Amino acid sequence: MKYQLGTTLISLLIGLLISMLCILALLSSYRTIVKTGVESRIAATHDTQLQAGLTTAQMFLQNAGFGLEGSNNLLTTTVQVGSKTISAVLWRYKNGTNIVCQGLADVESSDNKKRRFVLLEGFENDSGAPCNGTSTLGSFKWKEQSTLANLEDYSTDKLNPQQITFNQTISTCTPFGAGTVEESSQHPLIIISAKTSTQKIAGLETVQVPICLLNIAS
């Protein structure tokens, strides 16, 4: 009598186990690919917004001191914006017959999980009266005018630290490094420092953007 060959319960269970292991491996690979793709997209968006924000900031800041005399039309300090005390670079210029006061700052988002690179607008008082050309820039009431860039928090401790800093010096310089430098004439030089996502993750040096303000003589 010949024995009949067929599928046993044990072979079915082994086959099911192998199939489950294969499916788990595929799901793990899929999850890794999706996670990497999402992180890459977030990092690319962060870097794109940062570069665009820095470029826009340069154009706004070049207005500092236009149509005005004196060296009190630019100030790097801390100011009160709403309920927050933040570091900012402030300036004013003349637009026709009006005095316009603006500033740049790195502020935390409402949930304190991200940062925002913002353009500030200065007023003489809380009622929204325009600023003037004589008072100290730090004495005005400052409000957010627009957001130039939304920035992700790439710190290891996730404490959402300030990402963009400002340093003010005096130098013989030209805007965007173009043109001939006059050694006898010095102007304010604002250096904006920031890091891209890659530089933060790898611990590399910051990007430094020098902005020479020819409208103000020192």
- The answer on pLDDT for 208 being more than 70 is yes
Phi, psi of 93 (to 5 degrees): -155, 170
The pLDDT of residue 70: 84
- The answer on pLDDT for 40 being more than 60 is yes
Segment among 15-19, 82-86, 115-119, 173-177 with least mean pLDDT: 173-177
Q: What is the rounded distance in angstroms from the CA atom of residue 59 to the CA atom of residue 133?
A: 21
With CA atoms as reference, report the closest residue to 77 among 65, 88, 85: 88
What token pair was written down for 109?
A: 């988002």
The pLDDT of residue 33: 78
Domain boundaries, the chain: 43-212
- The answer on pLDDT for 24 being more than 90 is no
Higher pLDDT, 207 or 168: 168
- How sure is the predictor about 5, in pLDDT bands with cuts at 50, 70 and 90? low
What percent of the chain has pLDDT above 70? 92
Segment among 7-11, 147-151, 210-214 with least mean pLDDT: 7-11
Higher pLDDT, 152 or 13: 152
Segment among 24-33, 126-135, 156-165, 183-192 with least mean pLDDT: 24-33
Q: What is the rounded distance in angstroms from the CA atom of residue 151 to the CA atom of residue 49?
A: 8
The pLDDT of residue 186: 87
CA atoms within 13 A on the CB side of 48: 6
Q: Which residues pair with 190 in a beta bridge?
A: 168, 211
Q: What is the rounded distance in angstroms from the CA atom of residue 131 to the CA atom of residue 140?
A: 7
Q: What is the pLDDT of residues 41-84, one digit of tens each?
A: 888 888 999 999 999 999 999 999 999 998 899 999 999 998 88
- The answer on pLDDT for 1 being more than 60 is no
The pLDDT of residue 135: 93
Higher pLDDT, 216 or 88: 88
Q: What is the rounded distance in angstroms from the CA atom of residue 62 to the CA atom of residue 165?
A: 17
The pLDDT of residue 25: 81
